[in-house]
Amino acid sequence: MRATCGLFVTMTYLVLEAQTGELCYATGGHLPILRRIGATGEAEIFYGDEGLPPSSEMMRVVIGSEPRLLNILRAVVKFRAQEAGFSKSDAEYLALAIDEAAANVIRHTYGGCCDAPLALELHNLPDRLEFTLEDGGPKVCEDQIRPRSLDELRPGGLGTFFIHSFMDECSYDPDFTPGNRLKLVKFLSRKGACCDESSSANSG
């Protein structure tokens, strides 16, 4: 089912037997269930006993601009990146980059407003993963978003540095309106480049 505004409608139906812990569920195009593990709060994608669902080349996730929801974006990115062939550590770096981009939208573009939409699209292409992050806030000035020098010891300002370090391409769509669309690309052929300190340090 496809709604207006380019959004999909999905559903998940779950029945949990509280006494036995048995969980039965059916899903109609919804994102995978996240299972929280123990006291650490770590989350993993849970698919039950039926194996992985078929992957589609594109996935779109829409959340409200609440900081507590950022872990959903991280889990999705980490899963899709590993599915696309990135190592676990590189997938974690990509999740960090997306988390930082989304956090920047929440903090700066939306000014901390928690009920604005934030949409992440992931395109799984043969040689790369493309991410687009859309918001409905005021236009950002791309020239003012630059990684800061690492020579300064001060809190803050590292988010943009991490984004540029872990992604191969980073650009705003000037024609997207209203709001902003940030496009981030990571190529598979540059595996292991996520932590290339020499290249990242020169980025800004």
Partner 1 sequence: MKVQVRILDRISILDCTGDVDLYSSPRLREALLAEIKPDGPSVLVGMSAVPYIDSSGIATLVEGLQLSRQTKTRLGLFGLRANARSVLELARLHKVFTIFETEQEALEKIGSAKPFDGV
Applying CB under 8 A, does 135 fall inside the site for partner 1? no
Applying CB under 8 A, does 156 fall inside the site for partner 1? yes
CB of 162 to partner 1, least distance (A): 6
Which residue number, 57 or 197, has a Cβ lying nearer to partner 1?
197
Which residue number, 175 or 197, has a Cβ lying nearer to partner 1?
197
3-class secondary-structure state, position 142? helix
Applying CB under 8 A, does 161 fall inside the site for partner 1? yes
DSSP class of 97? H
CB of 14 to partner 1, least distance (A): 24
Number of residues that bind partner 1 (CB under 8 A): 34
Listed in sequence order, the DSSP H helices in 105-187 are 159-166
3-class secondary-structure state, position 183? strand
Q: At which residue do the structure tokens 């999905």 appear?
A: 10
Q: Is 11 exposed, middle or buried (0-12, 13-18, 19+ CB in 10 A)?
A: exposed
Its sign, for the CA torsion 119, 139, 203, 149, is negative
Contacting residues for 141 by C-beta, under 8 A, at least 6 apart: none
Which residue number, 66 or 121, has a Cβ lying nearer to partner 1?
66
**Which of 1, 5, 41, 49 contacts partner 1 by CB under 8 A?**
41
Which residue number, 123 or 148, has a Cβ lying nearer to partner 1?
148
Which residue number, 171 or 199, has a Cβ lying nearer to partner 1?
199
Q: Which helix (H) or strand (E) holds 89?
A: helix 88-104
**Which of 81, 84, 94, 96 contacts partner 1 by CB under 8 A?**
96
DSSP states of 48-75: TTS-PPPP-SEEEEEEES-GGGHHHHHH
d(CA 55, CA 47): 13
Applying CB under 8 A, does 190 fall inside the site for partner 1? no
For residue 178, give both structure tokens: 């209203």
Which residue number, 30 or 107, has a Cβ lying nearer to partner 1?
107
Applying CB under 8 A, does 154 fall inside the site for partner 1? yes
Applying CB under 8 A, does 179 fall inside the site for partner 1? no
Residues in contact with partner 1 by the rule CB under 8 A: 39-42, 66-68, 70-71, 74, 89, 92-93, 96, 99-100, 103, 106-107, 150, 153-159, 161-162, 165, 195, 197, 200-201
